């Protein structure tokens, strides 16, 4: 479609078969109007940088997970009972996919590596929002929908991890479902209700399968659509943090905008190619990612009578797992286990309030003062430390001298301090106030 025919309204074919098909379709579906509205005439700030690629990469990864997931579901069996060889049917069906299904190994490793890639991309996407203050007015709802997407993504990854019914699948499900029992009064009943039994078993596998392949993907798709609709309403922020949507000429056109197509589509295609190159290099040459994408312990079938030496989640959950383990003593009458559960869940929940916690007069790191830069660097350091310690046993000692447990506690404290003290420290950031005055 060239710009001339597009501008004229409906698409007009030059006589070729392909053109005729598009003309036929366009007369019955508002295709060219959609293309104009969302791509060729959609104006975005012209100063977007590489941080803005991760949203569309996340979209592609979501699609990839759905497609590979559909093919996996054709051969996977959510059945925990042992087969003739004494191996759980679910575990054996994954082995079957890897060995006997045509291209099964590629579909499975693309899906398992895709889970790690999804979190990697979404973590960078969230970090970009923190760098440029993208969560602030008028993008609060866009941000909140993002936080809900993150919760749904965590639930999707956790339920998926249980499906191969390996040792770590089983024991991780045991540890995590047992957390529900930390709540007073109804805790035990809640844990039994979540598992569908008194301990993790066939009933748990069945419901996790239903959630993983139907309910959560549907919720994710719906939430992502909401996210994009909200984005279109308020428009993209940008690395300088100024409100590009307000700088318009008399015709209402953005002064600092360029059309999404071709100026950004060409960049997005390049970024996506680089991403896919790295991603498929990992899929082909390091599908287990040294135990970070697929854990060694999970190549053994689930055995309820044999607890692994230590139970740990995959890398993307380790910062939150660290917070759970960091709570070892009761506080103000609240039991340590419940404190851990609250700390772990609250770590994501607190993000919802970020638009109102941040009181700086400017949005972007480019115009903020040293306090923000120091606080954000310490925040990243504490998050990475928590992630590192969460992948180690609880008795881990850093450099053979510093016990990991108090470090994890201090990092958890700082994580919360960053957010809860933000109304204070974001206000005293001198440079930011100077920028406002200027």
Residues that bind ligand HEM (CB under 6 A): 52, 54-56, 58-59, 62, 122, 125-126, 129, 132, 134-135, 139, 142-143, 146-147, 149-150, 224, 227, 231, 236-237, 351
Q: How far is the CB of 51 from ligand HEM (least distance, A)?
A: 7
User: What whole-number distance in Å separates Cα of residue 403 and Cα of residue 137?
Assistant: 42
Nearer to ligand HEM, 166 or 235 (CB): 235
Q: How far is CA 178 from CA 181, 182, 317, 429, in A?
A: 6, 8, 17, 43
Compute the residue count for the chain: 438
Q: Which two tokens stand for residue 97?
A: 């996919």
**Which SS3 state, helix, strand or coil, does residue 166 take?**
strand
* Residue with smaller CB distance to ligand HEM, 101 or 224: 224
- Nearest distance in Å: CB 130, ligand HEM: 9
Closer CB to ligand HEM, residue 348 or residue 410? Answer: 348
DSSP letter, residue 11:
-
Q: How far apart are CA 95 and CA 89, in angstroms?
A: 10
Residue 48 or 314: which CB sits closer to ligand HEM? 48
Give the nearest distance from C-beta 171 to ligand HEM in angstroms.
28
| Closest to 134 in 3D by CA, of 365, 424, 347 | 365
Q: How far is the CB of 110 from ligand HEM (least distance, A)?
A: 17
Whether the upstream peptide bond of residue 145 has omega within 30° of 0, thus cis, is: no
Smallest distance from ligand HEM to CB 87, Å: 34
Cα-based distances in Å from 185 to 124, 189, 190, 191, 345: 39, 9, 10, 12, 20
Contacts of 275 (CB under 8 A, 6+ apart): 53, 57, 60, 121
Smallest separation (angstroms) from ligand HEM to the CB of 323: 18
Please tell me what DSSP assigns to residue 213: I
Measured from the CB of residue 29, what is the shortest distance to ligand HEM in angstroms? Answer: 23
Give the list of residues 6+ apart from residue 385 with CB closer than 8 angstroms, or none. Answer: 407, 408, 411
* Paired tokens of 210: 């239903």
Residue number, 34 or 186, with CB nearest to ligand HEM: 34
Residue 62 beta carbon to ligand HEM: minimum distance, rounded to whole angstroms? 5
Give the three-class secondary structure for 17: helix
Q: Which is nearer to ligand HEM, 80 or 351 (CB)?
A: 351
d(CA 134, CA 156): 25
C-beta closer to ligand HEM: residue 47 or 81: 47
Q: Rank residues 182 and 351 by Cβ distance to ligand HEM and give the closer one.
A: 351
Please give the full DSSP string across 32-83, using - where no structure is assigned.
Answer: HHHHIIIIIT-EEETT--GGGGHHHHHHHHHHHHHHHHHHHHTT-----SB-
Q: Which residue is nearest to ligand HEM (CB)?
A: 146
Closest contact distance (angstroms) between CB of 234 and ligand HEM is 8
Residue nearer to ligand HEM on the CB measure, 215 or 231: 231
Rounded-to-integer distance, Cα 358 and Cα 53, Å = 25
């Amino acid at each position: 479609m060239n710009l001339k025919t597009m501008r004229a309204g409906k698409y007009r074919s030059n006589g070729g078969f392909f053109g005729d098909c598009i003309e036929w379709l366009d007369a019955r579906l508002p295709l060219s109007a959609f293309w104009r509205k969302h791509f060729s005439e959609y104006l975005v700030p012209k100063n977007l940088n590489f941080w803005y690629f991760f949203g569309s990469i996340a979209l592609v990864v979501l699609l990839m997970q759905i497609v590979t997931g559909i093919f996996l579901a054709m051969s996977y069996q959510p059945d925990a009972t042992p087969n003739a060889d004494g191996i759980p049917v679910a575990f054996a069906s994954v082995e079957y996919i890897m060995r006997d299904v045509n291209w099964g190994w590629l579909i499975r490793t693309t899906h398992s590596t895709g889970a790690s890639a999804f979190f990697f991309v979404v973590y960078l996407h969230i970090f970009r929002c923190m760098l440029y203050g993208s969560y602030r007015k008028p993008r609060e709802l866009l941000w909140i929908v993002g936080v809900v997407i993150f919760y749904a993504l965590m639930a999707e990854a956790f339920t998926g991890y249980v499906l191969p019914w390996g040792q770590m699948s089983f024991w991780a499900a045991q540890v995590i479902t047992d957390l529900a029992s930390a709540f007073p009064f109804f805790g035990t009943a809640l844990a039994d209700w979540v598992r569908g039994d008194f301990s993790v078993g066939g009933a748990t596998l069945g419901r996790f399968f239903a959630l993983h392949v139907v309910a959560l993907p549907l919720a994710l798709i719906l939430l992502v659509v909401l996210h994009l609709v909200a984005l279109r309403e308020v428009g993209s922020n940008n690395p300088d943090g100024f409100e590009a949507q307000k700088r318009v000429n008399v015709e209402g056109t953005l002064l600092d905008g360029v059309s999404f197509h071709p100026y950004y589509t060409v960049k997005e295609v390049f970024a996506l190619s680089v991403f896919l190159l790295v991603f498929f290099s990992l899929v082909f040459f390091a599908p287990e990612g040294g135990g970070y994408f697929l854990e060694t312990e999970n190549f053994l079938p689930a055995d309820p009578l044999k607890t692994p030496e230590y139970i740990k989640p995959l890398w993307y959950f380790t910062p939150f797992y660290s917070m759970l383990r960091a709570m070892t003593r009761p506080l103000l009458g609240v039991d340590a286990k419940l404190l851990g559960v609250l700390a772990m869940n609250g770590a994501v929940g607190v993000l919802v309030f970020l638009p109102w916690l941040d009181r700086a007069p400017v949005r972007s790191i480019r115009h903020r003062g040293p306090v923000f830069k120091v606080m954000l660097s310490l925040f990243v350091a504490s998050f990475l430390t928590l992630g590192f310690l969460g992948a180690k046993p609880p008795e881990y000692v850093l450099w053979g001298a510093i016990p990991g447990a108090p470090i994890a506690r201090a990092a958890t404290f700082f994580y919360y301090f960053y957010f809860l003290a933000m109304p204070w420290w974001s206000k005293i950031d001198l440079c930011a106030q100077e920028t406002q005055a200027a």
